[in-house]
Amino acid sequence: MIEITHKEIQLFQERIINWFEENGRTFPWRNPSANNYQKIISEVLLQRTQATTVSNFFPSFIEKYPSWKRLGLATELDLQEALKPIGLYKQRAARMYKLAQEMKRRKGRFPKTRQEAEKLPMMGQYISNAYELFILNNPSPLLDVNMARVLERFFGPRKLADIRHDPYLQSLSKRVVDYPKKAQINWAILDFASLVCKKRSPNCQICPLYNKCKYQFKNI
């Protein structure tokens, strides 16, 4: 297991937040006026779909389905029709329908703990983490393949193929987002993954993490 010091974590957090303050992206679900319903629905839509695609689609979806109550009145076919513009609409509609029906049964009230939230339909690890971050205000990582790529390049690689079960990456991501601006540091890493530390050709020349990055040293 790679030993990572508190100082290394701090350096990463400071540089990535500074970068975000200058370069972070604006999306409707990041707006301070976005409510918890919008934050959770955006994370459902963002799975396996680019943020810019969801961003263009999001306002019209929220206009049509502004609340759990309104979403709970939609049939699965209504949702399929509404979700067509962003693809994967059948799977997405089936899962969203189940979640909406459960939230309708709960009268729009979110569970009070993560353990309870995990029992809701479609709450895999990622959405449960989003729930913990946005609803419970805990330092919880939006750990997906993009966040994993940045962390692994900078700090060193994981051992297991599945990020959901890799103890190193799970623990590292929690340490990294344990920061006063919890949502912002998550968004910072995700934006950084999309704009700088890209999958195929990372822009290492303009990267604020360059002089400490393990990937960089490995590839010299």
Do 140 and 177 touch, CB atoms closer than 8 A? yes
Residues that bind ligand SF4 (CB under 6 A): 153-154, 196-197, 202-204, 207, 209-210, 213, 215-216
Residue 182 to residue 65: CA distance in whole angstroms = 28
Q: Indicate the residue among 94 and 204 with the shorter CB distance to ligand SF4.
A: 204
Least separation in angstroms between residue 198's CB and ligand SF4 is 8
Residue 140 to residue 125: CA distance in whole angstroms = 11
DSSP 3-state of 160: coil
Q: Indicate the residue among 127 and 172 with the shorter CB distance to ligand SF4.
A: 172
Q: Indicate the residue among 26 and 201 with the shorter CB distance to ligand SF4.
A: 201
Least separation in angstroms between residue 49's CB and ligand SF4 is 23
Least separation in angstroms between residue 197's CB and ligand SF4 is 3
CB neighbourhood size of 170 (10 A): 16
Least separation in angstroms between residue 125's CB and ligand SF4 is 24
Q: Indicate the residue among 153 and 182 with the shorter CB distance to ligand SF4.
A: 153
Q: Assign 3-class secondary structure to 49-114.
A: CCHHHHHHHHHHHHHHCCCHHHHHCCCHHHHHHHHHHHCCHHHHHHHHHHHHHHHHHCCCCCCCCH
Task: Find the Cα–Cα–Cα–Cα dihedral 180, 184, 187, 192, rounded to 10°.
Answer: -90
Least separation in angstroms between residue 174's CB and ligand SF4 is 19
Q: Indicate the residue among 54 and 176 with the shorter CB distance to ligand SF4.
A: 176
